[in-house]
Amino acid sequence: MRRISNLLARIQKQPREGGQVLVLTALAGSVLVAFLALVLDVGNLYLERRNAQNAADAAALVGAQDYAGVVPDVTIVAPNAVRDARRYAIQNGFVTDSGANNGTWNGEVRVDVPPATGPNAGKADHIEVQIHRQVHGFFTGMLGINLQVLARAVARAKHMSFDAATISLDTSNTSTWVHGTPSVVVVGNVYSRGGITDSGNSNLEVEGYAYARGGFFGNPPDAKALITNVPDLLDPKWPAPTALPDPGLSFNANIGDHPCNPPDPVNMCIYPGTYDYIKINTGQPIRFEPGVYRTTKSQGVQFTSSANAFSTGAVAFVVDSPGSFDVAGGATLNLYTSKSLSNGILIWTSATGNAVKINGGSNVTLGGTIYAPNASASIGGSAGGTVHGQVVAKDVELDGTSGTAVVYDRNGAPDTPGPTLVE
């Protein structure tokens, strides 16, 4: 009995910790629940933000389809665009009245034609859509915190362009620069966002209209008319044709043998894909097999004076910055593309500087559009014409010796882009 009494006395003297454990467990559970609630609130906020942005983008594109007029007057019709943009926002679950006024908040949506803010404010061919929504969270709501999402989108109406052989996107006086002896011929219209400068003893002969927003300098072109009061054409932002990742490395036709498959006793062959660079430096004919060719290094695509290359099907060249597309005088080329392969773009480059240099002759024929929105395109003419399609570049330099530099071909010009998101 004495032993049992001693044991009971010892047990009664042990500290009692059960209540403390219960308190800590309750606190930990509360923190966990709060953390989970916060995670749910953040996830819900992200989802609402994404839905609002998707709705704003789509509503802006829908409103941008309500444009009127052709060159030289492209304007989004505000009443129609505001109505259609608001209707689309309603279909996507946001609160507004399709009959609400332009430039005002109604419910969760505001539509401005033209935009009221941003780099495109005041442009009649643009529309701005803003969506604002308050989000009620579980945890943040208990803390009295109001969550809000704000989405904004700006779209441009269908790009309007001239049927022009050359389009210069720069606004300088030498956006289109002509020099040659004695004349350079362009078959089609010529358009410049800046000026057209004809220097030295050269003379630009345009078998169409010459449009220059910045005016004419030097010898005036010989054209159907010289026009300065013309609309401002923007960069169409054509995407690059897609090239396969293979075969990589580089292609130098002056080193080794590049057989065709099946074997060809006359020609060497090159196949589509992504290369470090492509250099054609041999008189032996090089056959470009149909497809897209992309270069990633500074050497770009080079055709030396002895180059001899042709394609038997549609090809396209994508030249990554800082590469260039160079054709030396004396080269023999016959390369062309198609609408189905590349939307009619034969040469696409993201480079700056003098990214396209074609010293053409009667033995150089390129079929398709040259697109160099950040760079200069220098085109040398010949009696037979060097480019059959279109040249769209930051600056266009035309050179020649009584020859034709560019022949506009509607079949070689890319399709006009539709409404486009710009912000």
Could you tell me if residue 172 is inside a domain? yes
The two three-digit tokens of residue 50, written as one number = 């994404």
Is pTM beyond 0.75? Reply is no
Residue 15 within a domain: no
141 and 268 belong to one structural domain: no
- Residue 234 is encoded by which pair of tokens? 């923007």
User: 310: Cβ–Cβ under 8 A, 6 or more apart, which residues?
Assistant: 285, 286, 287, 288, 333, 334, 335
* 102 and 56 in a common domain: yes
Boundaries of domain holding 346: 164-421
CA 129 to mean position of chain CA atoms = 22
Rounded to whole angstroms, the Cα distance separating 74 from 358 reads 34
Residue 140: alpha-carbon gap to chain centroid: 41
Number of folded domains in the chain?
A: 2
415, 344 Cβ separation under 8 angstroms: yes
13 assigned to some structural domain: no
Distances (CA, A) of 187 to 161, 208, 223, 259, 401: 17, 7, 10, 39, 15
Do residues 99 and 192 share a domain? no
Q: Which of 104, 126, 156 is the last residue of a domain?
A: 156
- 321, 398: one domain: yes
- Cα-to-chain-centroid distance, residue 7: 86
Cβ contacts of residue 328 below 8 Å, gap of 6+?
A: 303, 304, 305, 307, 359
Task: List Cα–Cα distances, 109 to 71, 261, 318, 408, in angstroms.
Answer: 31, 60, 41, 45
pLDDT in tens, the chain (423 residues): 455 555 445 545 555 554 555 555 555 555 555 555 556 666 667 888 889 999 999 999 999 999 876 544 578 999 999 999 999 999 999 999 999 999 999 999 999 999 999 999 998 889 999 999 887 765 555 555 677 889 999 998 877 666 899 999 999 999 999 886 667 888 999 999 999 998 766 678 899 999 999 999 988 889 999 999 887 777 888 889 999 886 667 888 766 668 888 888 889 899 999 999 999 988 889 999 999 999 999 999 999 988 999 999 999 999 999 999 999 888 899 999 999 999 999 999 999 999 999 987 778 899 999 999 999 999 986 766 789 999 999 999 988 666 788 899 887 788 777 788 889
Does one domain contain both 237 and 345?
A: yes
